[in-house]
Amino acid sequence: MGEAHRARDTLTGERAGRQAGALRAALRARGLDDETRGLVDRAVTLAMRPRLLSLTDDHHPSYLHPGRAVLILLHDVDNLPGPTLPVTAVHESLDHDLRLGTDEITRTLGREIGAMVESLPLPGAEDLEERLVLLGREGALAVLAERLDHLRHLHMRVDTESQWTEVHAEVERAWLPFAQRTDQRLAQRFAHWTRTFRRRLP
């Protein structure tokens, strides 16, 4: 049996099923129409493909990341512009090997979503603050929710431990002020992470 098949066998169990159910329930609770729910489902399915091929542990902090980031917005943000949720699902700011190409996103979800994902700045960019302030509300919410979910699981990423001080400084300098300008609840979540994670630093 090949590695990809072993990964699929490992990663199609209870945790993914529970999250899929939580997503469906949250989408229905928000009163979103069938077309929007279907688009979000396609986006999460697309974002899971490289995870099924590359990860061999369904407790890896990046495995459920696409759905978790979408759930942050469904639970915390009142007004969600149309493409925000699918953009959030397919945006990947941390794991290069799990990142989807723009062409693949465009083929599956449409040109608008592909272009929006392409416009989102990545952590560590030299012009990060400048690019963040140029985002419309759709992109701003998507990039904040996606980043927040990775931050919430950063303590599980021993592979990035040497970068934690730098990441924390960037959040204080760029991400937290941007969240404060964008959405009150997301700003509270970023502020809480900043205070809590500071205790892990030397």
The ranges assigned to domains in the chain are 3-198
How confident is the model at residue 202, as a pLDDT?
Answer: 86
Which comes out higher in pLDDT, residue 64 or 79? 64
> From CA 138, how far away is CA 100, in angstroms rounded?
19
How confident is the model at residue 12, as a pLDDT?
Answer: 52
Residue with tokens 């900043």: 194
Asked whether 174 and 128 are in contact (CB, 8 A), the reply is yes
How confident is the model at residue 1, as a pLDDT?
Answer: 36
Query: Per residue in 165-180, pLDDT tens?
Result: 999 999 999 999 999 9
> From CA 183, how far away is CA 31, in angstroms rounded?
21
> From CA 191, how far away is CA 170, in angstroms rounded?
13
The yes-or-no verdict on residue 20 having pLDDT over 90 is no
For the segment 106-134, the average pLDDT, to the nearest whole number, is 97
Percent of the chain with pLDDT over 70: 94
Residues contacting residue 95 through CB under 8 Å, at least 6 positions apart:
62
CATH C-level class of 3-198: mainly alpha
Residue 101: burial class (beta carbons within 10 Å; 0-12, 13-18, 19+)? exposed
